[in-house]
Structure 1
Amino acid sequence: MSSSPGASKRERALLIFTLLNPMHPDACCILGVREVLNKVITRKKVEHDARQGPVLRAAMIFISTVRSEEEHAALRARLVTCTCKSSIRSHRPVFRPLLEVLELVLFEITSTISDYFMRIGAGKFARVKENTPADARPWPSCIEDVIPAAGGEQEVLMGLMQWAAVPPSGHGVFSLIGALARHWEPFALQVFQRSDLFPLATKHLKQALDSWGRHRDRADQIPFFIGPVTACAQGFFHTLSEIDLPVTLALLLPVYEEMYPIAVDIEPILLGLRRTQNPMDDSRRWFALVRRIRSVVSEGSWVSPNLKKDQPEMADGMGHFAIAFHRMVEIRNRNQCLYIECTTKIHERLSVCSRCGIVRYCSKECLAAAWDAPNNPHKALCKNIAALRTATLLKDDKAWTNTVRDSALHRSPADFADMCTVRGADPDLAAAIWQELVMLTNKKMRFVLGGGEQQMAEVAKGSRLVIDELD
């Protein structure tokens, strides 16, 4: 990050004013936004700067506000037309169309907000001392910072989708949608009910690939390939697969025939860029997954992943270990009380069960209720996970946490499966764990949706993918 001087108080005030009132005659154009934004987000230790709060708060409102189709078109036109007053018109010259500048700035805004979500952790908010002035509060310090719209999660998603619906400049929104879904579980539920998001993200990836074919020899065009791939493949698809793999794959089915050739063409490009660019490992993982399930889709063996009784026997235990690992990591990453009938609204990071170190509950009461619950009792699941920890020599809490903590970069499912095999763990134990976790999360989602079993059935309708064959 740059250590150059940051934005002045006047510049920050103008940026915040513009983000909150982008159509006002005194608001600056996208060039003015870009210049001040660069000074704000590229400074060292930016996350410790209390002055970031008002900027990020305004940015979240700007990017998530629902506008009519005409209003949104007028806003885009206003941003790419400089009508700034001479007193503030000190823009550095740019040698690219302003629509491209808009694309880059939107990506910077959404990436910055997404990075903050990743830093603070799922369901967490920054601590604020009592009586702290509004302009001195860090971001996000409350749910209103994350979901600023009166219409809640649904309205925020609609506002974000308005930007996403205009390729190519709206691609950055997908990374924000993924990050917000990981951070705030009620928002994730809204995302999984929108079947139109997957075709839209796929369209952005296709346009990025087409752009690469036309401009691969121009270094200045590389960001216009890497940006959409990072936002859509890594920030959106891969993140959603970590939140809920079965539902993600069910929603992928209608666009799979479009996604597969994209995966085939993009994977080697990403490998070729590894030496000069961010490795984008999570993007490559997503495309590798798309390629691996090709035979399953082609053979018509795409089965609902929700029913334990439909799971076929596997040839060996490696797959069970890998799937168990994937499901445990995904469950641990959720900031959700998994006592099925809990209705508590979550505002802080929940604790994991001290014995299994995987499942989260919002209180001792919920853990006690779940322990001997008639359906999916935690007692049996906890016992199985504890047994797997013992078999893999991971009884120590620190060692277990380091194995299943947030990032998939720390250990891959294949590595975990190899370790389990070497140490003689029981694959039937792993199978029991992941099958129980699938049943538990499906029942929890149905309860959260208010008995919406029909909605879940519609999501999975026509889906015939065998989960065992994925990992």
Structure 2
Amino acid sequence: MSAVASGSQGSREAQSLAASVKALTSMLEEPTKSTICASQLHATCVSIQNAIHSSPTVAAQVKLAKSWPQLLRAGIKFLTRKQSPTRFSAMVENLSRCRCNLDQPGIKELHSPTSLDSSLNNSELTQFTNIIHLRFSVHTVIDCIQLALYGQTKHKFRSEKSTTKPNEDQPWPQDPEDLLPFGPEDSVDGIELWAEGPGGYYMYKLATSLALYYHPFSRAMVRPPDYAFAMVRASKHLTGVMDFYDEDPSCAESQDLFEWPITVIFDYFQLLVNHDKFYAMMKATGNTISPVLARLSAILAALPAKDWITDTRVGIEVLSSFANNDLAGMRKRTAPIANTIRDPVYDAFAEMAMVRKGGCANTTCPNTSGTVYARLCSQCNVMRFCGEHCQKEAWKNPLFPHKVLCSKIAKLKEQLGKKAWAQLWTEDMTTAKFLAQPKRPMDTKNVEAIGRILTDIKAFKMALSDDIPWSSRT
């Protein structure tokens, strides 16, 4: 009896989730014609988020998100559609407007407004709640897209097709046009519309995922001469968080109001550091972003130490050094902060994980398209090369010979064993989780050396790409 009841409950939950996915997809496909209001949207997205977070592993979450290709396709079109500010505002207003019959069972409960601001009247409170609900819905769509792209090799599209499924049910994304239907540049313009409003910082989470997966998008979002989306608007979100903190310092304990906006923006900034236009961008926007960084640094320095705060403070020093064209003392300024919690072994594994995702390891590779190459070095199983020529050049590179690095990584690989090494690169495994497991046999000095070499290679490649004056590095 209990087994039957449990099965019935599972079936109802599956049906409810399917209905929620269908309702959200329908709204995303026809946002200007949708009759579903923000409160109903919120209820459907709560169901979707609950399903995601109840999945036992990251791999299960990824699998679930990938099982909704129609939602993913509708979602990326919805968030990247370029349109005039007037049309965009009209669409948002339509989605925030309520046309519901509150006499219907259960409908009135969905529309019970809640707010931190008791000074608002009922109409203002309802509007405020609708904005919050719409923001949550947008965040849910971004979470699904990010999960679907999680762990994907850059530029490796899901070309497999089922002959029994229509195009909209095929795995997403099939090709660049499926990933960004409006193209990279127009997609950035579409995302920027959403980035302007409340909670707009979350759009940088989407931008980070897309840029990591598809280099043409990365190049499109970094546009001279003003770099409005890439730097200026991102710094405005940081300013908004700090203004709120000045009004109410207790918000520093809130993930939603303080930690997440800052960490999302700095995860995005970390991506930009590896961009070939990073130095030019920092020089162009230095006067704008430097005071923002200085203000944030002062606020974080006064707060109790936490890992994310320490990482952010290090990031601030790196960005400030570039913005002020003062790289000479960057390591001196970052080391005292980083050394409070930073573990060189952790950093080495994190660098290996990043390198393994793609990009030619030959520092003199002429290819700047950002293509990620599937060819892994057969010995170290970490470094990638775009071809035999680059691998041969890297092997005897006078500055960073892959011959030396390869042997160090191969030694680590042998010490960990095949099973642990393979586990290290799975979707479920993070660096922190891997190192938290029972102590593994490894030469920590060798691991630290690997980390230092990879960091130096990254810095060297960035310097070459940006044509940084040598006088500023010494």
Out of 72, 89, 94, the position equivalent to 2:88 is: 72
For residue 129 of structure 1, report the CA deviation from its aligned partner. 3.1
Out of 299, 304, 326, the position equivalent to 1:301 is: 326
Separation in structure 2 between the aligned mates of residue 378 and residue 129 of structure 1, nearest angstrom = 49
For residue 39 of structure 1, report the CA deviation from its aligned partner. 1.7
1:56 aligns with 2:72: yes
Q: Tell me, what secondary structure is at the counterpart of 2:90?
A: helix
Q: Which residue of 1 aligns with 2:315?
A: 289
Computed over aligned residues only, the root mean square deviation of the Cα atoms, in angstroms, reads 4.8
Out of 177, 185, 200, the position equivalent to 2:215 is: 185
1:101 aligns with 2:133: yes
- Matched-pair contact (CA < 8 Å) for 1:356–1:382: no
Task: Give matches, 1:152-167, under 5 Å.
Answer: 152-166=183-197
Amino acid at match of 2:94: R
- Matched-pair contact (CA < 8 Å) for 2:245–2:252: no
Task: Give matches, 1:52-451, under 5 Å.
Answer: 52-84=68-100, 90=107, 91-96=110-115, 97=128, 98-120=130-152, 122-126=154-158, 128-149=161-182, 152-166=183-197, 168-193=198-223, 195-196=227-228, 197-215=230-248, 217=250, 223-234=256-267, 236-241=268-273, 244=274, 248=278, 251-252=281-282, 254=286, 255-266=289-300, 269=303, 271=305, 281=307, 284-291=310-317, 301-302=326-327, 330-334=354-358, 340=365, 350-361=374-385, 366-373=386-393, 381-389=401-409, 398=418, 407=430, 409=432, 422=445, 438=459
Unpaired runs of 5+ residues, structure 1, are 275-280, 306-317, 413-418, 447-455
For residue 113 of structure 1, report the CA deviation from its aligned partner. 2.0
- Matched-pair contact (CA < 8 Å) for 1:328–1:434: no
Aligned identity (percent) is: 16
Taking structure 1 as reference, are residues 38 and 410 closer, same or farther at Cα in structure 2, changes over 3 Å only? closer
For residue 173 of structure 1, report the CA deviation from its aligned partner. 0.2
For residue 112 of structure 1, report the CA deviation from its aligned partner. 3.1
Separation in structure 1 between the aligned mates of residue 215 and residue 67 of structure 2, nearest angstrom = 28
For residue 136 of structure 1, report the CA deviation from its aligned partner. 3.2
Q: Tell me, what secondary structure is at the counterpart of 2:27?
A: helix
Taking structure 1 as reference, are residues 82 and 226 closer, same or farther at Cα in structure 2, changes over 3 Å only? farther
- Matched-pair contact (CA < 8 Å) for 2:172–2:178: yes
Separation in structure 1 between the aligned mates of residue 18 and residue 74 of structure 2, nearest angstrom = 15
For residue 58 of structure 1, report the CA deviation from its aligned partner. 1.0
- Matched-pair contact (CA < 8 Å) for 1:163–1:173: yes
- Matched-pair contact (CA < 8 Å) for 2:184–2:216: yes
Separation in structure 1 between the aligned mates of residue 76 and residue 131 of structure 2, nearest angstrom = 21
For residue 131 of structure 1, report the CA deviation from its aligned partner. 3.7
- Matched-pair contact (CA < 8 Å) for 2:266–2:312: yes
Q: For each residue in 1:372-399, what CA deviation from the matched residue of structure 2 results, as whole angstroms up to 9, or x when unmatched?
A: 4599969973212124436878676757
Amino acid at match of 1:161: E
Q: Which residue of 2 aligns with 1:315?
A: none
Out of 2, 27, 30, the position equivalent to 1:18 is: 27
Query: What TM-score results when the alignment is normalised by the length of structure 2?
Result: 0.68
Taking structure 1 as reference, are residues 28 and 301 closer, same or farther at Cα in structure 2, changes over 3 Å only? same
- Matched-pair contact (CA < 8 Å) for 2:394–2:402: no
Amino acid at match of 1:93: S
Amino acid at match of 2:71: V
Q: For each residue in 1:231-267, what CA deviation from the matched residue of structure 2 results, as whole angstroms up to 9, or x when unmatched?
A: 2123x123444xx178556644611331132133136
Separation in structure 1 between the aligned mates of residue 180 and residue 361 of structure 2, nearest angstrom = 20
Taking structure 1 as reference, are residues 376 and 18 closer, same or farther at Cα in structure 2, changes over 3 Å only? farther
Taking structure 1 as reference, are residues 112 and 265 closer, same or farther at Cα in structure 2, changes over 3 Å only? farther
Q: Tell me, what secondary structure is at the counterpart of 1:198?
A: helix
Taking structure 1 as reference, are residues 403 and 42 closer, same or farther at Cα in structure 2, changes over 3 Å only? closer
Separation in structure 2 between the aligned mates of residue 248 and residue 378 of structure 1, nearest angstrom = 26
Separation in structure 1 between the aligned mates of residue 203 and residue 181 of structure 2, nearest angstrom = 16
For residue 148 of structure 1, report the CA deviation from its aligned partner. 2.0
For residue 160 of structure 1, report the CA deviation from its aligned partner. 0.9
| Between structures 1 and 2, the one with greater helix share | 2
- Matched-pair contact (CA < 8 Å) for 1:106–1:169: no
Amino acid at match of 2:140: E
1:39 aligns with 2:50: no
Q: For each residue in 1:69-117, what CA deviation from the matched residue of structure 2 results, as whole angstroms up to 9, or x when unmatched?
A: 2112222222222235778993342313122333333233223322332
Unpaired runs of 5+ residues, structure 2, are 1-8, 56-60, 116-127, 331-338, 436-441
Separation in structure 2 between the aligned mates of residue 180 and residue 101 of structure 1, nearest angstrom = 24
For residue 185 of structure 1, report the CA deviation from its aligned partner. 2.3
Separation in structure 1 between the aligned mates of residue 83 and residue 36 of structure 2, nearest angstrom = 19
Taking structure 1 as reference, are residues 47 and 75 closer, same or farther at Cα in structure 2, changes over 3 Å only? same
Q: For each residue in 1:200-223, what CA deviation from the matched residue of structure 2 results, as whole angstroms up to 9, or x when unmatched?
A: 112112212322343455799752
Query: What TM-score results when the alignment is normalised by the length of structure 1?
Result: 0.68
Separation in structure 1 between the aligned mates of residue 157 and residue 241 of structure 2, nearest angstrom = 35
For residue 134 of structure 1, report the CA deviation from its aligned partner. 3.2
Separation in structure 2 between the aligned mates of residue 128 and residue 270 of structure 1, nearest angstrom = 52
Q: For each residue in 1:174-201, what CA deviation from the matched residue of structure 2 results, as whole angstroms up to 9, or x when unmatched?
A: 1111111112222223334462221211
Q: For each residue in 1:342-369, what CA deviation from the matched residue of structure 2 results, as whole angstroms up to 9, or x when unmatched?
A: 69996x87232123433323xxxx5222
Q: Tell me, what secondary structure is at the counterpart of 1:351?
A: coil
- Matched-pair contact (CA < 8 Å) for 2:380–2:410: no
Taking structure 1 as reference, are residues 345 and 251 closer, same or farther at Cα in structure 2, changes over 3 Å only? closer
